[in-house]
Amino acid sequence: MPDVIKSIDGDEINISNTGIFYNNDNLKAKDLACKIKCLLDEKGVKSSILTTDNYKKDVTFAIVLGGDGTILKTARYYAKCSVPILGINLGRLGFLSQAKSEQANDAVSYVLSGTFKIEDRLMLSALNGKMNALNDIVIKGDSFSRTSRLYVHINDNIVCDYLADGIIISTPTGSTAYTLSAGGPILAPKLDAIVIVPICPHTMNARPIVIPSSEIIKVTSSQNKPLLKISADGQKTYNLGLNEEIEIKKSPYNAKLLLLNIEKNSFYTVLKEKLHWGLSWKG
């Protein structure tokens, strides 16, 4: 088996050091990781089984076993290294994954035969690059009992004054996650755009806004109000100082998601099958 595999569309992956990642708390994932490694060994592909607490920088291709949270965590780590990621779903929804656990062997075979494509996904950056997100960056007050007054500036122009439980700044990839639950629009993942969505705003004229990804977003809070918390993909959280300005912009890095080049894995098909989008209720 060659180290570099090229797809029909010309995308390439380097499988010379494949990492099979799983969450250490998921015994089912560990068993599946062992089965995938055996398959790769039979094909002459060098691979190693790693947990999501033990990422290694020399990995050239990542197979991630778990739910969307496991994929998001791995994507954030390997975006700077331009490592393609194949997700195999062991969670509930698995919107970012390409196969179910029982389809794992077929998925690996598709990859080794070049039946795939690689899609670059826009990411967000905040706190001077200390925080990166593939889905979204969420800003909330640190008190559950209070709303926050948040001022949103776009390219140094004040645009919105939200009295709300918080605010979501989302990528197209994240538009089917927390953003959707908060009333935001769904964006096709190839769009080069950012969505800003208030969480439970205390006014009827506060609506989501979609802007080009080249815009610079700054969020501030009113003086002498409770401190804020900022989180990336609902996983990595920081506490912010009083009156601290938060700048969010397009990350210089893209997540590279490997998509199996089969019709049922198109974005619109997944949208319908996993979110039941556009299906009428049958009483």
Phi-psi region for residue 114, left (φ > 0), alpha (ψ -120 to 50) or beta?
left
Establish if 280 belongs to a structural domain: no
pLDDT tens digits, 140-182: 987 666 788 899 999 999 998 888 999 999 999 999 999 999 9
Question: Are residues 100 and 13 part of one domain?
Answer: yes
Question: Are residues 246 and 172 part of one domain?
Answer: yes
Establish if 215 belongs to a structural domain: yes
User: Are 175 and 133 contacting, i.e. CB atoms less than 8 angstroms apart?
Assistant: no
pLDDT band at residue 199 using 50, 70 and 90 as cut-offs: very high
Establish if 62 belongs to a structural domain: yes
Residue-level pLDDT at 227: 79
Question: Are residues 137 and 110 part of one domain?
Answer: no
Looking at 11, 68, 165, 233, which residue is catalytic?
68
Question: Are residues 242 and 205 part of one domain?
Answer: yes
Q: Which residues contact 255 (CB under 8 A, 6 or more apart)?
A: 75, 76, 78, 79, 85, 120, 121, 123, 134, 173
Question: Are residues 17 and 58 part of one domain?
Answer: yes
Establish if 281 belongs to a structural domain: no
Share of the chain above pLDDT 70, in %: 92
pLDDT band at residue 8 using 50, 70 and 90 as cut-offs: confident
Residue-level pLDDT at 47: 97
Residue-level pLDDT at 255: 98
For 4, the 3-state DSSP assignment is strand
Residue-level pLDDT at 273: 72
Q: Can you list the alpha helix ranges (DSSP code H) found in 186-266? A: none
Does the annotation count 68 as an active-site position? yes
Establish if 236 belongs to a structural domain: yes
Question: Are residues 245 and 199 part of one domain?
Answer: yes
Establish if 106 belongs to a structural domain: yes
Question: Are residues 153 and 101 part of one domain?
Answer: no
Average of per-residue pLDDT across 41-66: 96
Question: Are residues 132 and 45 part of one domain?
Answer: no
User: Are 22 and 70 contacting, i.e. CB atoms less than 8 angstroms apart?
Assistant: yes
pLDDT tens digits, 235-246: 989 988 767 889
Count of domains observed in the chain: 2
pLDDT tens digits, 22-49: 988 887 899 999 999 999 999 999 999 9
Distance (Å, whole) CA 218 – CA 182: 20
Question: Are residues 73 and 58 part of one domain?
Answer: yes
Establish if 186 belongs to a structural domain: yes
CATH number of the domain residue 232 falls in: 2.60.200.30
Question: Are residues 128 and 243 part of one domain?
Answer: yes
Question: Are residues 132 and 242 part of one domain?
Answer: yes
For 19, the 3-state DSSP assignment is strand
Residue-level pLDDT at 147: 83
Give yes or no for residue 2 having a pLDDT over 80.
Answer: yes
Residue-level pLDDT at 176: 92
CATH number of the domain residue 78 falls in: 3.40.50.10330
Q: Which domain holds residue 89?
A: 4-122+254-275
Encoding tokens for residue 67? Answer: 């739910």
Mean per-residue pLDDT of the chain: 90
Q: Can you give the pTM of this predicted structure? A: 0.91
Question: Are residues 19 and 50 part of one domain?
Answer: yes
**What's the sign of the alpha-carbon dihedral 90, 50, 36, 3?**
positive
pLDDT tens digits, 233-277: 999 899 887 678 899 999 999 999 999 966 666 777 777 776 766
